[in-house]
Amino acid sequence: MTERSRVYGSSLYDLASEEKLTEPIRDQMLAIKQILRDNPDYIRLLAEPSIKKAERIGLIDAAFGSSCEKYLVSFLKLLCERDLLGEYEGCCEIFTKRYNEDHNISEAVVTSAVALNDSQIKALAAKLEAMSGKKITITAKIDPKVLAGIKVELDGKQLDGTVSGRLSGIKRKLDEVVM
């Protein structure tokens, strides 16, 4: 993440806070982020120097002008005008980080060998909320290398309840005994 992402993302968050629009703008930012990830050609089109900036900004208006908060649309136009659309994801990260700090929310990344169902995710979120005292949002990832169990990354800490993690721990202890 660059310094520009920090500055632009924080500035948008400050404006959204003043206007009491942090939640809708955050939700819309994340939706646009996914749209842009799913349509990389659209980003290339908006960054194409052979297309006049006014036309590129018109494309942003046409795509998001009627469905998004005016401040977010203006923010996208500003990034386009300054050839900074590549900073958008970083701006989203900063905005979301500030939102989470202000609303006592932590993001947990949960890695398991198989997909967790909704009831498992809800139960895990409740347990993590009880442990941390914060509201928890979970991003679930699948990695067959964990074999079984789950690994949780929360607030810079890692809780490893995976079989592969336990096997690694046993191997380290054996290595210490053998040496």
Identity at 13, one-letter amino acid code: Y
* Whether residue 133 sits in one domain with residue 92: no
The residue assigned the tokens 């990832």 is 141
CATH number at residue 63: 1.10.520.20
Residue 92: pLDDT band (50, 70, 90) is very high
* Whether residue 129 sits in one domain with residue 92: no
Residue 179: pLDDT band (50, 70, 90) is low
Residue 68: the pLDDT is 94
Instruction: Report the C-alpha gap between 31 and 97 in whole angstroms.
Output: 16
Domain residues for the domain of 62 are 3-100
User: CA–CA distance from 85 to each of 12, 56, 70, 113, 176 (Å)?
Assistant: 14, 11, 17, 35, 51
**HSE-CB of 95 using CA atoms within 13 angstroms:** 29
Outline where 19-117 has alpha helix (H).
22-38, 40-47, 53-64, 70-81, 88-102
pLDDT digits (tens, 9 = 90+) for 17-70: 999 999 999 999 999 999 999 988 888 888 888 999 899 999 999 999 889 999
Among 46, 75, 100, residue at a domain's last position: 100
- Domain tally, the chain: 2
Nearest to 85 by CA among 55, 50, 42: 42
* Whether residue 56 sits in one domain with residue 10: yes
